[in-house]
Chain A
Amino acid sequence: MTTSTETTPIEKPKRNYNILFGLTLLALLVLLWIALSLATPSFASGINIANLLRQGSMIAILAVGQTFVIITGGIDLSVGAIVGFCTVIVAMLINAGFPVWLAVLATLALGVAIGLFHGFGIVKMGLPPFIITLATLTSLRGIGLLMTNGNSISIKNDAFSEFSRNSFLGVPNLFWMVILVAIPAYIFLHHSRWGRYLFSVGSNAEASRLSGVNVNRTIYLAYTLSALCAAFVGVLLASRIGIGNPTQAEGWELQAIASSVIGGTSLFGAIGSVHGPLLGAFILATINNGANLLNVNSFWQRIITGALIIVIVYFDGLRRRGK
């Protein structure tokens, strides 16, 4: 056979690419921490580190859910609004006397329902993901404001309110929640067939369909998981600030997308991981925290974040194209 005797130089497989990129991000994060510890004595204090972890945790969870959606080639703009809306729902349920576990479960179920609605809009109504999630973004804020009349609802349950402020084994509870989400998310994305289908749909939906993959169900799944993560963050936020307020978490969807993209997720789909967005979220949190400690004008924080997105994604693209 002619073809088997030919010796064509063959490209090295890029199997370790994900891990390598993750290590680069981790190095960047550690570098930031070292630099900030040297620059300001208050950075390395236990209180500040705990604070930093709390700040980053909620965006990190949102970013994981967002990443599932982006891998399929979609986008979920509604997550910030879902967070705000769910603080209201969980606050109302608790104040109405429901046990906390039931209030939390009901709120998570609501998240699932919102995600299914997104899937319905995309699959059955043929709406672009950008549009359907943009629509829920504005309407959920509106519904929340209607329900609260624009006021905040104070949560009358101390145990619930303390959860987000407390620590376990010296680590803030909120960060434990990140781990609680990240481990199943990792197994789901990289070791289950549904995770594999997210990638294949994002890479080529038609080829997946012709290979027997249920493309519609995969899309439902991605948006449901993203909304579920957002509802969970809503519960955590309500616990942290002790109130329900529909205008909370304004712009968090963009921070979640930014974290995901900094973490190496491709907005064209089919490329992404779980550790990437987590690292991305904590890099962003570190920049904000460091800038606060260094008394950098908060307007500058936004500019730095924007520049960082451009730089990281540009270098990531260079490496992907040119190896």
Chain B
Amino acid sequence: MILSTLDGHDHPAPDAAVPGQPILELKGLEKKYIGTHALKPVDLAFKVGEIHAIVGENGAGKSTLIKLLTGVIPRTSGEVFWDGKPVALATPNEAIALGINAVHQEVVLCRHLTVAANMFLGEEDTRFGMLQGRTMVQRAQKIIDDLGFNLPAHVMLGDLTIGQQQLIAAARATIRGTRFLIFDEPTAYLTRKETEQLFALIRRLEAEGVTIVYISHRMEEVFELASRVSVLRDGTLVGTRNIAETDDAELVRMMINRSIEQIYHKDHFEPGETIVGAKNLSGKGFEDVSLSVRAGEIVGLYGLIGAGRSEFVLTLYGREKKSAGEIFWNGKPANIRNEHDAMKLGMALAPESRRDQGLCLNLSVGTNLNLPIYKRISSKLLISGAQEKSHAERQIGGLRIKTAGRHALASSLSGGNQQKIVIGKWLNHGAKLFIFDEPTVGVDVGTKAEIYRLFSTLLSKGAGIILISSYLPEVYELADTLHVFRRGRLVASHAHGQASHEEVLTEAIGV
């Protein structure tokens, strides 16, 4: 292999694999978590020297597949064959030893080390146990120049842009005897020029017989690079196509779940007064967004991850500062300086990440349920134990939170039940506007249905709901008004059922 001789290392020369022969074969590969079936049995063969694209919506099982292939998580069942021989792929080291590497969307390298140090991390040049800094910088520079990246090898990685770091991560993966390289949305942060450089690298690897798995939302990239494409949907491999024999219309159709299940139960209510309005609101990560929510309606925000939806609602809720525009509450301009002001007006936020923003995991279920209302259930100094108990137990009963009791730790509950705690604490607080940011991520179908039914209950009491979801069928079926975000802007709005799935997805991706 050109690159492995180039870096002067004696990597074991790959067996003379014949292009077109399968290198990695999956037979019935499957992954189950408690409560969710992340990947249903997949049969798929990756061939030597092909660029194989994998597309699918968020939550379709792409990340699970990558984690299985790189040995980050163990599989539940099924077999994997490498070069015809069965392999366990139980640890990341095993995958790396075979020659399987991944370049992730987020750069997982050390920002405070130099580019060269990062490239040889774990395989440093040493003489008598001393690092050969200068040699490594020279070797790294040679590799970088050879790839045509025009980047210095001696600077701190953190001084480069995210896109440049991504290129370094890709270069790093190529010098380790890699025979199978996975790119997970590599162009998300790249400029056009950087993307071209990356594509040149990918084509070069392909020519050397490296198998490339390319995961992307961007259809044009798939058609530019890939020779074959596989589509995942809801953890199922829907199909694999030769790129010449398909088009984006077919792929989008395959990506979308046609069978809308009964779970999207929705009662319609006559919309009332406008509760909250944003007028030309701008802030960190989004610009010039105007929308409003009326009593009794669900307003859905759809978009890819990073499109600015969460940033928008966090600003509405006072967590982030707005840079321009106005927020109206009940028709009057509202000055929301922090979360406390938002709560006082009557907003409630069930944030995107239960673990990081939603719950105090090592505290009890009861404490979590009462957190927003301790002020109300305290007389002067002391918390009323009776009220604390009754509020907690009302929600545990009403939402059917499966727990050993209100004293159990929140961390002992399943994902779906944890989500119910996050919702339950806002029911305790009581609010006019409920913001749900990805409320059903990692939640099983039964709990999903319960959460949707809960939406109806809230609406019937005259509340309004903002629903953020990256899962199109969910917002599509539930929202009375659907707003589509792309790259920080609100690009389209539809009334319920007015646009097709294909149109909405196209607007979000921007093909």
Q: Point out residues on A near B: beta carbons under 8 Å.
A: 1-4, 6, 8, 10-15, 187-188, 191-193, 196-197, 199-200, 203-204, 206-214, 270-271
Given the interface contacts A14-B409, A209-B339, does A203 sit within 8 Å of B374 by beta carbon?
A: no
- Residues of B whose CB lies within 8 Å of any CB of A are 317, 319, 339-340, 343, 349, 351, 356-364, 367, 371-372, 374-375, 378, 381-383, 385, 400, 402-405, 407-409, 412, 414, 416, 425, 429, 444, 446-447, 449-450
Q: What are 10 A-B contacts with C-beta separation under 8 Å?
A: A1-B400, A4-B402, A10-B402, A10-B403, A13-B405, A15-B407, A193-B383, A204-B359, A207-B356, A214-B340
Q: Give complex CA distance A191, B339 in Å.
A: 25
Query: Which residues from chain A contact B414 at a C-beta distance below 8 Å?
Result: 8
Q: Which residues on A sit within 8 Å (CB–CB) of B372? A: 211-212
A188, B446: Cα distance in complex, Å: 41
Q: Which residue of A lies closest to B416 (CB)?
A: A3
Q: Which of B317, B360, B363 has the most CB of A within 10 A?
A: B360
B367 touching A196, Cβ below 8 Å: yes
A15 to B392, CA, bound (A): 15
Distance from A323 Cβ to chain B, minimum over Cβ atoms (Å): 10
Q: How far is the CA of A270 from the CA of B339 in the complex (A)?
A: 22
Cβ of A3 and Cβ of B360 under 8 Å apart?
no
How many A-B residue contacts, CB cutoff 8 Å? Answer: 109
Known: A1-B450, A3-B447. A210 touches B383 (CB 8 A): no
Contact A199 B367 (CB under 8 A): yes
What residues of B have a CB within 8 angstroms of the CB of A1 in the complex? 400, 446, 449-450
Given A192-B378, A199-B367, A204-B360, residue A212 in contact with residue B450 (CB < 8 A): no
Do A210 and B446 have beta carbons less than 8 Å apart? no
Given contacts A12-B404, A192-B383, contact A210 B412 (CB under 8 A): no
Q: Is the interface of B mostly helix, strand, loop or mixed?
A: mixed
Q: Among the listed A3, A10, A203, which residue makes an inter-chain contact with B404, where contact means beta carbons less than 8 Å apart?
A: A10
**Which residues from A are CB-within-8-Å of B405?**
13, 15
CB distance from A197 to the nearest CB of B (A): 7
Cα separation A187 to B403 with both chains bound (whole Å): 28
CA of A14 to CA of B366, assembled, Å: 13
| Contact A208 B360, beta carbon cutoff 8 Å | yes
What residues of A have a CB within 8 angstroms of the CB of B400 in the complex?
A: 1, 3-4
Bound state CA distance, A174 and B364, in angstroms? 36
If A212-B372, A270-B360 are given as contacts, then 14 extra A-B residue pairs at C-beta distance below 8 Å, sorted by A number, are: A3-B402, A11-B412, A13-B408, A187-B382, A192-B382, A193-B378, A196-B367, A200-B371, A203-B362, A204-B361, A211-B371, A212-B340, A213-B371, A271-B362
Instruction: Select from chain B the residue with minimum beta-carbon distance to A320.
Output: B362
Instruction: Report Cα–Cα, A256/B221, bound state, in Å.
Output: 61
In the complex the two chains form, is A207's CB within 8 Å of B358's CB? yes
Closest to B417 in A: A3
List, in ascending order, chain B residues with CB within 8 A of A211's CB.
339, 371-372, 425
**CB nearest neighbor in B for A206:** B357
Nearest residue (CB) in A for B406 is A13
When chains A and B are docked, how far (Å) is the Cα of A50 from the Cα of B451? 62
Of the candidates A187, A213, A214, the one having the most CB atoms from chain B within 10 angstroms of its own CB is A213
Contact of A203 among B349, B357, B361 (CB under 8 A): B361
Find out whether the CB atom of A3 lies under 8 angstroms from the CB atom of B450. Answer: yes
